[in-house]
Structure 1
Amino acid sequence: MDMDQFRQQWARECGRRTAVLGSIRAHLEEQPSPRTIRTAARGWCAQITAMADDVITARRNQEHE
């Protein structure tokens, strides 16, 4: 990968991360109280961790094919 491709990939990843985190923040800001904000944040963390576990499992299954 040359430097131009690396920069383009970095820009895509940065844009995606910014959009996703902005969406999560908007969801948290919609919550009516500190307690529900924390509960929603924990839900996001759990869902992200579950997705990571799914991706890891899929990757391991691909390696064994």
Structure 2
Amino acid sequence: MAELPEPEPQHNRAGTTEQARMAITLGSVRASLEEQPSANAIRATARRWIAAITAAAEDVIAERRHP
């Protein structure tokens, strides 16, 4: 299993919460990838996850620019 990136040096609840959220989310993504029947299907699913995350980021950015 891929290791999570090391968090910035934080010793507070927000850092711990973010790390926990990342672990749960990455576990869900990995489970989705493991369900795929072939290498090509795994890659296609990964690309869909990447696109969905990028779209969500763009939505958040747009919401912050135009509250």
TM range (shorter): 0.7 to 0.9
Aligned length: 57
Instruction: Tell me the TM-score normalized by structure 2.
Output: 0.82
Instruction: Tell me the TM-score normalized by structure 1.
Output: 0.84
Partner deviation per Cα, 1:5-59 (whole Å, 9 max, x = no partner): x511111000000000000001000100000000000000000000011000000
Letter in 1 for 2:38: S
Q: Which runs of 4+ in 1 moved over 4 A?
A: none
User: Higher helix proportion, which one?
Assistant: 1
Q: Which runs of 5+ in 2 are unaligned?
A: 1-10
Structure having the higher Rg:
1
RMSD: 0.8
Q: Which runs of 5+ in 1 are unaligned?
A: 1-5
